[in-house]
Amino acid sequence: MDRLRFALIGAGGIGASHYQTLAAHPRAEEVVACDIAEAAVEPLAAAGIATTADWHEALDRDDLDAAVVVLPHHLYPEVVNAALERGLHVLKEKPFARDLADAKAMVAAAEKAKGVLMVAGQGKYSPGFQRAKQIVDSGALGDVFLARGVITYRWGGAITDNWRWRGTRELSGGTAVIDSGWHILDILSWLRGLPETVYCSTGRGNALPGDYDVDDRAVLTLEYPDGGVGSVICCFICLPNRREVLLHGTRASLEAVDDCVKLHTGNQQEAEVIRFQVEANALLPQLNHFFDLVDSGAAPMAGAREAYDIQRIIDAAYRSADSHRPEALAD
């Protein structure tokens, strides 16, 4: 299929970036955009795109091939499943779902669907992490006994107490682990594999003033079936901005960020450093992968099953934060 005709369900926030990525892509044609906020769809209407506040109306069109879905977490299952049932290919924003039950519902729909379901997580498509994956798969690190992941940045919505739905756990499922942490857990699990148990601490009380009942920072300890251990730090209210994975193996150690990989071998501190030019639009490599999947029918790097596994880690982390003990991943 040369071109795909898209519906954009959710045009605000990161949805606006998805729109710009679609608009600039030679193989994408945006047919309809949906958002309940009129201000979010006004620029798209001015560009000649059909707009609506009703996602049913958007998806019921007969001139669509695919949908990009960007919504509050609790709304995903109904909309994503409806798009899949209509035979559309779906690229949805992370996280996969608000909780494990919602994730199961989308896995079931995806397994019956003819179209592709791909879950966003643009970090994996950056050249640094792509190269890291090649090195890990080559066996150059040997047996990995220690893994570390960090994601920190400063989100203005929390700093200004403008949480909206994200500050309510019933709607979002949480924030530090499920939302911010998704990025690093997705990359780390892709490189290292799934842990067996998770211990998570989200601290006591809120680190910021304001009315919110979600986690604003978290530290996870991971134990792997092969005896290895790992740690993950997630926080969206601090600087500096950082997204990094470190893997320590019996033959070598690896540091990876979006635009650089450092491979440490031997007993010296010196490392082989590989630097990359990163695409200015981080969503573009991800969208290109989506087109490749539609063309080839290949399994995505972040399909329903892969996303469900990340959701299992998150589910165990939140259970651990409540129980104050390590929790096994759900079956």
| CA distance linking residue 147 with residue 124, whole number of Å | 17
Query: Is residue 287 situated within a structural domain?
Result: no
pLDDT value of residue 299: 78
More confident residue, 1 or 8: 8
Q: What confidence tens digit (pLDDT) does each residue in 31-67 have?
A: 999 999 999 999 999 999 999 999 999 999 999 999 9
Query: Is residue 313 situated within a structural domain?
Result: yes
pLDDT value of residue 1: 61
Q: Which letter does DSSP use for residue 267 in this model?
A: T
Last residue of a domain, one of 122, 151, 173: 122
Asked if residue 241 and residue 224 are part of one domain, the reply reads yes
Q: What confidence tens digit (pLDDT) does each residue in 263-281 have?
A: 999 887 789 999 999 999 9
pLDDT value of residue 272: 93
Q: Report which of 80, 91, 68 is spatially closest to residue 11, judged by C-alpha positions.
A: 68
Q: How many CB atoms lie within 10 A of CB 138?
A: 8
Last residue of a domain, one of 87, 122, 157: 122
Residue 230, strand partner residues: 147, 222
Query: Is residue 100 situated within a structural domain?
Result: yes
pLDDT class of 300 with cuts at 50, 70, 90: confident
Per-residue pLDDT at 228 exceeds 80? yes
> 66 near 89, Cβ under 8 Å?
yes
Last residue of a domain, one of 73, 107, 122: 122
Query: Is residue 67 situated within a structural domain?
Result: yes
Number of domains forming the structure of the chain: 2
Strands 66-69 and 89-92, sheet pairing: parallel
What is the average per-residue pLDDT within 289-303? 86
Give the residue numbers spanning the domain of 159: 125-277+304-328
Asked if residue 46 and residue 15 are part of one domain, the reply reads yes
The rounded mean pLDDT for the chain is 96
Asked if residue 165 and residue 111 are part of one domain, the reply reads no
Query: Is residue 187 situated within a structural domain?
Result: yes
Q: Report which of 101, 105, 57 is spatially closest to residue 84, judged by C-alpha positions.
A: 105
pLDDT value of residue 60: 97
Per-residue pLDDT at 182 exceeds 90? yes
> 199 near 325, Cβ under 8 Å?
yes
- Token duo for residue 110: 């995806």
pLDDT class of 298 with cuts at 50, 70, 90: confident
Query: Is residue 135 situated within a structural domain?
Result: yes
pLDDT value of residue 302: 72
pLDDT value of residue 215: 98
Asked if residue 261 and residue 143 are part of one domain, the reply reads yes
What is the average per-residue pLDDT within 184-207? 97
